[in-house]
Chains A and B, each alone.
Chain A
């Protein structure tokens, strides 16, 4: 029996995609402004797939005629591929119009991140890479209401010992320490904290409330660990399973979990 050559493969791909943030349910207004915008740069989209971002109109209670919007976009060289965010009805309408649905958790709208941050940043990667691509041509469409992306700054790297009484703050960034952190020292980061040496001081990750932040240490001897304000001290010593060993710390609900890193 001869085996047939496979005609296709199914794989996941991590592609960056343009998003069109819909800020109103007034279709006439959308069409008018889009037409104006595209008149300036007619070939800007050239059949680029576009995801419609609906979180800003999710609470509006009004539907949107996706069929008409999609055909209008096609006429202007924009290929609508699917929607992200939006209310259940809006998403149902989108399916009817032949659009795909992107998983909702990727959306980081102003409303969601304010009310339900845990959902918005389930994976650490969601916190590391804001999903909105930063294209100058789209700024007008997405307006200035974007929330500040949680981590914009480059990782802060410290290669000298952090000693008693010293405090390091990686504002809006991850923090990497390559030398010892002694008792009485404080590491604070809005993102993750990595310590590739014995860690005997305090480590405060996700200081602005990022519950997806993590702490990784090479030798766990910390005085205090905290993620997004949820902290733990070790009056009776560090648990045997992780003491002076490599460990990962993350938040599970309101519980701070310390896991040994076994490799």
Chain B
């Protein structure tokens, strides 16, 4: 049975698209038939990060409107045979996405794919809502700072109350915490929240920690998902994340357990 996974965060710029690209690539590298959908209609980025922007002819709105078939709109990834990309429209706005149309597309994709990764736009408006509505599982991407954590908290609340699974009273959406742009040095100096602090607030299982790294920017600019980088902490961290998602028991790396900023903030003195 195909799984629909939403990559979401609430806040912008925390690494949703970077994560969607690397996570879907990682799933495909392990032999899973995977498709990644860009739900950020009007501000599409996923195609750039996947390095397929020059091959975008049709997009998700064309498919929803019945102008082209799914097959015509899907773009095969240049690095992985098992990975396809369904790009967002650049010229339309988020209102062009409707739940019926998205459900139709997802149902069709479920017939031929193992994993459907939905890259959510920032915010809690209709675009983000549509991206999460049909999710079976959610990767909640959070940076180690208070505003990002609070926005993730908000998104978790919406997932628990308004997703299709919640509305229909099915088993709740399975939630995973992914902390990105983690810098243990700044955590130790008290400038950033620690993983422990974040978990203390969000209280969902930790899927992984992606360290802050220059190489993410280089990867984005060159159109290669970070998971493909050679000798990179970020690539290894994303591979760990995929492994854990597939059920492997891997130790948490790139993490520092020392109490940080938030503990001090709450603990007083």
A244 within 8 A of B: yes
* Residue B156, interface by CB 8 Å: yes
**Which one of A179, A184, A243 lies within 8 Å of B154 (CB-CB)?**
A184
Check B205 for interface membership: any CB of A closer than 8 A: no
- B191 contacts the other chain (CB 8 A): no
Could you tell me which residues of chain B, from 94 to 150, have a CB within 8 Å of some CB in chain A? Answer: 150
**A169 vs B188: C-alpha distance in the bound complex, in angstroms?**
40
| Cα of A162 to Cα of B266 in the assembled complex, Å | 19
Q: A182-B201, A183-B150, A184-B150 are in contact. Are A161 and B268 (CB under 8 A)?
A: no
Residues A164 and B203 in contact, CB atoms below 8 Å apart: no
Cα of A222 to Cα of B268 in the assembled complex, Å: 15
Q: What are the residues of chain B within 8 A of A200 when measuring CB–CB?
A: 201
0/1 string, A123-148, CB within 8 A of B gives 1: 00000000000000000000000000
User: Which of A164, A184, A237 is B268 in contact with, Cβ under 8 Å?
Assistant: A237
Q: Are B160 and A160 in contact (CB under 8 A)?
A: yes
What is the CA–CA distance of A243 and B151 in the complex, to the nearest angstrom? 24
A219 to chain B, nearest CB (A): 10
Bound-state Cα–Cα, A221 to B201, Å: 12
B247 to chain A, nearest CB (A): 25
The reply to whether B160 and A243 form a contact with Cβ atoms under 8 Å apart is no
Assess whether A13 is interfacial by the CB under 8 Å rule: no
B153, A163: Cβ atoms under 8 Å? yes
Nearest B-chain residue to A166, judged by Cβ:
B157
A165–B157 CB distance below 8 A: yes
CB-defined contacts of A165 to chain B, threshold 8 Å: 154, 157-158
The answer to whether A164 and B157 touch across the interface, beta carbons within 8 angstroms, is yes
A160 to B151, CA, bound (A): 18
What range describes how many residues of B lie at the interface? 10 to 19
Chain B 53-79: CB-based contact to A (< 8 A → 1; otherwise 0): 000000000000000000000000000
Q: How far is the CA of A86 from the CA of B201 in the complex (A)?
A: 54
Q: How far is the CB of A186 from chain B (nearest CB, A)?
A: 11
Residues of B within 8 A of A160 (CB): 160
Q: A182-B201, A183-B150 are in contact. Are A163 and B156 (CB under 8 A)?
A: yes
Q: Quick check: is A180 within 8 A (CB to CB) of the other chain?
A: yes
* A interface, size bucket: 10 to 19
* Chain B positions 7-63 with a Cβ under 8 Å from a chain A Cβ: none
Q: In the complex, A237→B268 CA distance in Å?
A: 9
Give the residue name and chain of the A residue nearest to B150 (CB). A164
Question: Could you tell me the distance between the alpha carbons of A185 and B267 in the complex, rounded to whole angstroms?
Answer: 21
Q: With an 8 A cutoff between CB atoms, is A252 at the interface?
A: no
> How far is the CB of A222 from the nearest CB of chain B, in Å?
12
If the complex has contacts A221-B266, A237-B268, A244-B266, are A164 and B160 also in contact, measured as CB distance less than 8 A? no
Contact B203 A180 (CB under 8 A): yes
Q: Quick check: A163 and B268 within 8 Å, CB to CB?
A: no
Q: Does B161 contact A (CB under 8 A)?
A: yes
Chain A residues with Cβ under 8 A from B267's Cβ?
244
| Residue A5 is within 8 A (CB to CB) of chain B in the complex | no
Q: Does the CB pair A240–B268 fall under 8 Å?
A: yes
**0 or 1 for each of A219-233: is its CB under 8 Å from B? (1 = yes):** 001000000000000
Nearest CB of chain B from residue A140's CB, rounded to whole Å: 44
- B150 pairs with A161, CB closer than 8 A: no
**Contacting A182 at CB < 8 Å: which of B153, B266, B268?**
B153
**Beta-carbon contact of A163 and B154 below 8 Å:** yes
CB atoms of B154 and A164 under 8 A apart:
yes
Expressed in whole angstroms, the Cα–Cα distance for A243 and B269 within the complex equals: 12
Inside 8 A of A185's CB, which chain B residues have their CB? 157
Specify which of B153, B160, B203, B266 is in contact with A184 (CB 8 Å cutoff): B153
Which A residues from 227 to 263 make CB contacts under 8 A with B? Answer: 237, 240, 243-244
For the complex, what is the distance from the CA of A184 to the CA of B158, rounded to whole Å?
13
- Tell me which residues across on chain A come within 8 A of B150, comparing CB atoms: 164, 182-184
With both beta carbons as reference points, the residue of chain A lying nearest to B151 in the complex is identified as: A164
Kindly report which residue of chain B lies nearest to residue A237, judged by CB atoms: B268
Check A163 against B157 for contact (C-beta < 8 Å).
Answer: yes
A163 near B160 with CB under 8 A, answer yes
| Min CB gap B43→A, angstroms | 23
A238 → chain B, closest Cβ, in Å?
Answer: 9
Per the bound structure, the CA–CA distance linking A164 and B155 in Å amounts to 8
Query: CB-defined interface of A148-184 with B at 8 Å, one 1/0 digit per residue?
Result: 0000000000001111111000000000000110111
Listed A/B pairs (15) with beta-carbon separation below 8 Å: A160-B160, A161-B156, A161-B157, A161-B160, A162-B157, A163-B154, A163-B160, A164-B150, A164-B153, A164-B154, A179-B203, A180-B201, A185-B157, A200-B201, A221-B266
- Other than the given A164-B150, A184-B153, 5 more pairs (CB < 8 A) read A160-B160, A161-B157, A161-B203, A164-B157, A185-B157
Question: Which residue numbers of B lie inside 8 Å of A, CB to CB?
Answer: 150-151, 153-154, 156-158, 160-161, 201, 203, 266-268
Interface residues of A (CB under 8 A from B): 160-166, 179-180, 182-185, 200, 221, 237, 240, 243-244
